Structure 1
Amino acid sequence: MDPLVYLAIMWGGVFFAVYAARKTKLTPVLFFLFVGALLVNTGFLPKEIPPFIRGFAEMGIIVIMFAIGFEEKTDNFLGSMKRSWGIALFGAIGPFIVAYAVADYFWQDYHISLMCGLAMTATAVSLTMVSLKSEGLHTSRAATGIMTSAVLDDIASLALVAIMVPVATGDAPANLHEIAIVLGKAVLFFVGVLILGAWIFPHPLSGLAGRMPLLRHFGLRHLLVVLREHLTLVMLTLALVVGIIAHELGFHPAVGAYMAGLVLREEYFLLDPDGGNRFDRTKETVDDIAFSWIGPIFFVSLGTQIIFDFDMVFSLIPEILAMTIGLFVIQIASAGLAARYTGSFSWVESVMIGFGMLGRAELAFVVMDIAYIQHSILTTEAFFTLMATAFLLNITVPVSIALWKPYFTGEKVWGGKRKTS
């Protein structure tokens, strides 16, 4: 019964987080993380989360990212990739250099510095997108720019893991063959998603399948007509399957779920002979699952990763502050300037993109696990510093987005004057 008790406690924490968010007018994500950290450090949740809760949390982030992709337009995403390469490149190089330099200054170990730089490179896109969702900004150009940049960052980070882990462990030099495999898997995944959206889902089918007499009139819309009473189940299965495929190719399943939602179109839900559209009803159900009862468990579970050894934390305050402040400044500056000058975003959009790239979660914790648990590259001090830095950066995401929103929407202009037109 213990896992069910823990789930009940976490759901109770979700109610508190939602209430606190309404009172403070901040995003619930911040309070989900706080609740998780509070519960684990006060003993209400175990330090080792049961597999049932871990699986529940993993499904939560998959559904969240699917719901966010479900609202995005495919053409907007593809168009944004052309504008986001600079954000991904410079928004990753800057944090890597700062994290490497801070680690090298305090610990003077090349291997530790490599792993610290790598852990702080990839952006926690799920945290940012949920924060933007709570502010009603998740369909903005800036949000799409953040998402596409973060996906490109994921690809680059996976390639860097292939390069740096063997170097840091001393097992092997950089292996070009492994790098080529990682990049090949990335190409395979995105080409597969493109085929799914361009030739398999459309109704009637297009491409080669569209020329086959028996198949050309069938597409996703036809399947949804047949299974019209189970649309939510179809959507969740699709998100999970594409997420599993992404995971098998080396990506976080959430990236696959987002892409699955991205290639869906509203016209696929024109199910009834009279033209009735079930898109809004299905979307409402998916959103309820993603943002009300499964999704929040992911963020509460993420908060439980912060186990405070207060004596060690106090002794590491200089390292934590240097790492956090350095990353905060360089991430906003590098991503924001890249958005402005390589992506032609406006200044208010560029600053929002800089704020949106601050979070560290999925890949950061994967790298920390590899470097600390699996290979013992990181010292305990370095591990705690990275964990505390990731936690503090995650807190800055919803706070900075909420504070910048009035300027982003035009309700205020820089300098404190309110727009009158």
Structure 2
Amino acid sequence: MEFIFYLVLILFFTKVAGDISVRLGQPSVLGKLIIGIILGPAVLGWLNNNEFIHYFSEIGVLLLMFIAGLETDLEQLKKNWKSAFAVAVLGILLPFLGGLGVGELFGLSMEYSIFIGVLLSATSVSITVQVLKDMNKLNSREGSTILGAAVVDDVLVVIILAVMLSFLGTGEEISLSLLIGKKLIFFLVAILVGWLVVPRILSSLSKLKVTEPIMSIALVICFGYVYFADLLGMVGIIGAFAAGIAISLTPHKHVIESKIEPIAYAIFVPVFFVSIGLNVSFSGVGNQVGFIIILSLVAILTKLIGGALGAKLTGFSGNSSLMIGSGMVSRGEVALIIAATGLQEALLLPKYFTSIVIVIIVTTLVAPPLLKYFIQLESKSPSKNI
């Protein structure tokens, strides 16, 4: 029954830490991330990553992105696709060059340096989504641009990583055309199913004489999208986000939204927030403090500047651009997956793995207060870009 004890600790301490964070003027998610570090191996050692944590956190991040999809204004998303693309491209280019430069600075070989550049190019907006929701900015023009850029970023980084693995990795050669074809198939099928199938399934099966048929079918659609995304080489959170958008176009949107949030935020999402902190360990990094500090600064600044520059070039005001750039800073679980892949394919030296994980955690911890600061700055701006 150890997992019950874990659940008790996580649910209690995330709520207390979140409350303290808000009282100190920070987003609640920051406190939840920090409590994961405190409860985990890095400090108290009360919690460790295990199968329970893994599966519950996986469900948590999927539900978080599913809710983001449900709350997304599709018209706003379509209007800002050019900005989203520019933010994603520049938000990949600058971190890639920055990571490459840091690798060269510390005497790493070209292939190791390139991999660090690819790693820093990744973005995870699961934490950003929570801050945007808390501050009622998820449906803003800036929020829609961040979400759209995250989708583009994921596709481009996966393709870049696949190209790198095919040339430098130890695995089998990867067909680039097949990889891109799979991405196109995913989006095509996701759109068609969302347009033609999802509304009919919800309408017909909502009449089943069982408890909560609408919610059950919504979760089937969500996890079905996730599984399909995974089969075609997409990150699962993109599938969950696409499922949320598909359901948001149906009359059942508000019912599902009101019922999915208590399920997600009561159990699964807190486990996800804590699980990020559990990856932190300070053992064996004493000689790499300089590497960690420099790479963390490069990771934060290049993503912030790259995203902001992409937004500014497509018509956003200065404050709005910085808000968008800060929303792209967190690397989260996407970068952790890439780091694990690099270690497996001998593209990341084992002695640097823990340091890389710490850098990823740093970007994830910095993102919420940074985003909140720029949201407040944008809100006070006398001339908002509408």
TM-score (norm 1): 0.85
2:237 aligned with 1:248:
no
2:213 aligned with 1:230:
yes
Partner of 2:203: 221
Report if the CA contact (8 A) 1:115-1:367 is conserved. no
* 1:149-160 correspondence to structure 2 within 5 Å: 149-160=149-160
1:170 positional shift = 5.5
1:117 positional shift = 1.1
Q: Distance in 1 between matches of 2:201 and 2:36?
A: 43
1:260 positional shift = 0.4
Report if the CA contact (8 A) 1:368-1:383 is conserved. yes
- Give deviations 1:342-377, integer Å, cap 9, x for gaps: x322222211111001001222111111222x2343
- Judging changes above 3 Å, is the alpha-carbon distance between structure 1 residues 375 and 22 closer, same or farther for their aligned structure 2 residues? same
- Give deviations 1:247-298, integer Å, cap 9, x for gaps: 11111211101100112246523xxxxxxxxx53432221222233211211
* CA RMSD, 1 decimal: 2.2
Report if the CA contact (8 A) 2:202-2:218 is conserved. no
Partner of 1:404: 374
Report if the CA contact (8 A) 1:193-1:259 is conserved. yes
- Judging changes above 3 Å, is the alpha-carbon distance between structure 1 residues 219 and 365 closer, same or farther for their aligned structure 2 residues? closer
2:298 aligned with 1:326:
yes
1:148 positional shift = 0.9
Partner of 1:183: 180
2:277 aligned with 1:303:
yes
2:336 aligned with 1:365:
yes
2:197 aligned with 1:200:
yes
Q: Distance in 2 between matches of 1:52 and 1:224?
A: 31
Q: Distance in 2 between matches of 1:43 and 1:328?
A: 28
Moved more, 375-384 or 118-127: 375-384
Q: Distance in 1 between matches of 2:51 and 2:329?
A: 29
Q: Distance in 2 between matches of 1:347 and 1:326?
A: 21
* 1:67-86 correspondence to structure 2 within 5 Å: 67-86=67-86
- Give deviations 1:361-397, integer Å, cap 9, x for gaps: 222111111222x234322442233222111111111
Partner of 1:118: 118
Q: State percent identity of aligned pairs.
A: 24
Q: Distance in 2 between matches of 1:78 and 1:223?
A: 30
- Judging changes above 3 Å, is the alpha-carbon distance between structure 1 residues 37 and 161 closer, same or farther for their aligned structure 2 residues? same
Moved more, 17-26 or 361-370: 17-26
Report if the CA contact (8 A) 2:96-2:118 is conserved. yes
- Judging changes above 3 Å, is the alpha-carbon distance between structure 1 residues 380 and 171 closer, same or farther for their aligned structure 2 residues? closer
Partner of 2:29: 29
1:171 positional shift = 5.7
Number of residue equivalences: 381
- Give deviations 1:45-96, integer Å, cap 9, x for gaps: 12xx221221111011111110111011323223322331111111101101
- Give deviations 1:209-230, integer Å, cap 9, x for gaps: xxxxxxxxx5533333446842
Report if the CA contact (8 A) 1:313-1:384 is conserved. yes
Partner of 1:389: 359
Moved more, 287-296 or 142-151: 287-296
Report if the CA contact (8 A) 2:312-2:321 is conserved. yes
SS, match of residue 316 in structure 1: helix
Q: Distance in 1 between matches of 2:225 and 2:300?
A: 33
Report if the CA contact (8 A) 1:3-1:50 is conserved. no
1:109 positional shift = 1.2
Report if the CA contact (8 A) 1:115-1:168 is conserved. no
SS, match of residue 128 in structure 2: helix
What code does the residue aligned with 2:109 have?
A: D
- Give deviations 1:103-153, integer Å, cap 9, x for gaps: 121033122112211111111111111121122211111111111111111
2:347 aligned with 1:377:
yes
What code does the residue aligned with 2:227 have?
A: I
What code does the residue aligned with 1:298 have?
A: F
Partner of 1:289: 263
Report if the CA contact (8 A) 1:67-1:287 is conserved. yes
Q: Distance in 1 between matches of 2:77 and 2:203?
A: 22
Q: Distance in 1 between matches of 2:176 and 2:78?
A: 25
Partner of 1:274: none
Partner of 2:137: 137
Moved more, 291-300 or 97-106: 291-300
- Judging changes above 3 Å, is the alpha-carbon distance between structure 1 residues 250 and 171 closer, same or farther for their aligned structure 2 residues? closer
TM-score (norm 2): 0.92
Partner of 2:105: 105
Q: Distance in 2 between matches of 1:229 and 1:19?
A: 31
Report if the CA contact (8 A) 2:67-2:257 is conserved. yes
Q: Distance in 1 between matches of 2:149 and 2:112?
A: 26
